[in-house]
């Protein structure tokens, strides 16, 4: 990217931070190792994941939910914050019925959002762009992050900023990217059943989202290295 574009993106990001950002308090790590579990179709519930973090629609998979009993739950997509949404009502009922302690993270929302899921931790998903060192500084101090185009981005940042030194990734196969971009037909997109009206994004949206995801994850790899954190991806399809 040309330097003048980086300057513009940095200045725009500073304005976003001044308008939307606030301090974020997250709990300290429990030990040194954490597993982050995605929503890929194939999910092995026989693995001992230890301290683990799950994402978005994970609670819709009843078997995995009750077997794994996650420690952390990260929500990112806007659809989870609208009370009339199918996803939110089912997830919230499932979360309420659990019999274990769990931290629930949702982003600080802009005004006008209907916050449907209760939570005990807010994180800052303000998009920060521009010079890499500026983006990484903001990420470290919870002022923002690379575009949270995929829930893995805030999940990794939360895990690193909590203080975990070894992060294991499971179930991040990016199935819907493979189908919508590469034409690889998938039997299922997620480990939970989708409602009948679920539709994949169009190709243009998928390509743009995929680009922002890969770009953000590459920045997080640099951030993890600076923080002395090892990321181990156990998925078959790796983009980090």
145 secondary structure, DSSP code = B
Residue 116 domain-assigned (yes or no): yes
Residues pairing with 37 in the sheet: 54, 170
Identify the pLDDT of residue 204: 81
pLDDT score of 136 = 94
Question: Is 240 a member of any domain?
Answer: no
Residue 144, domain member (yes or no)? yes
Please check whether residue 238 lies inside any domain of the structure. no
- Low-confidence residues in the chain, pLDDT < 50: none
**What pLDDT was estimated at residue 18?**
86
Residue 239 lies in a domain: no
The answer to whether residue 26 is domain-embedded is no
Q: How many CB atoms lie within 10 A of CB 87?
A: 22
The 10s digit of each residue's pLDDT in 32-58 is 999 999 887 778 888 899 999 999 889
Dist. CA 176–CA 178, nearest whole Å: 5
Please tell me the total count of domains within the chain: 1
Decide if 202 is inside a domain. yes
Question: What pLDDT score was predicted for residue 216?
Answer: 94
Which structural domain range is residue 48 located in? Answer: 3-21+31-233
Confidence (pLDDT) at 36: 97
Classified as helix, coil or strand, 189 is: coil
Burial of 114 (0-12, 13-18, 19+ CB in 10 A): exposed
CATH number at residue 39: 3.90.1480
pLDDT score, position 113: 59
What angle separates helix 175-182 from helix 203-226, to the nearest 10 degrees? 140
Residue 78 is assigned to a structural domain of this protein: yes
């Amino acid at each position: 990217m040309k330097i003048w574009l980086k300057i513009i993106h940095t200045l725009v990001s500073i304005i976003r931070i001044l308008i939307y950002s606030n301090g974020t308090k997250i709990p300290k790590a429990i030990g040194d190792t954490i597993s982050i579990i995605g929503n890929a179709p194939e999910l092995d519930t026989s693995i001992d994941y230890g301290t683990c973090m799950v994402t978005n629609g994970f609670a819709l998979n009843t078997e995995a939910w009750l077997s794994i009993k996650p420690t952390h739950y990260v929500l990112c997509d806007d659809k989870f914050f609208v009370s009339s949404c199918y996803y939110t009502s089912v997830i919230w009922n499932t979360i309420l019925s659990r019999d274990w302690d769990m931290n629930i993270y949702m982003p600080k929302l802009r005004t006008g959002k209907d916050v449907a899921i209760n939570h005990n931790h807010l994180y800052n998903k303000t998009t920060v762009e521009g010079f890499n060192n500026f983006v990484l500084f903001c990420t470290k101090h919870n002022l923002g992050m690379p575009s949270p185009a995929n829930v893995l981005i805030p999940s990794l940042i939360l895990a690193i900023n909590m203080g975990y030194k070894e992060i294991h990734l499971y179930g991040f196969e990016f199935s819907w990217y493979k189908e919508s971009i590469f034409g690889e037909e998938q039997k299922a997109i997620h480990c939970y059943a989708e409602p009948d009206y679920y539709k994949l994004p169009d190709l243009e949206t998928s390509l743009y989202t995929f680009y922002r995801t890969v770009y953000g994850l590459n920045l997080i790899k640099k951030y993890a290295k600076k923080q002395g954190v090892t990321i181990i991806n156990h998925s078959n399809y790796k983009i980090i």
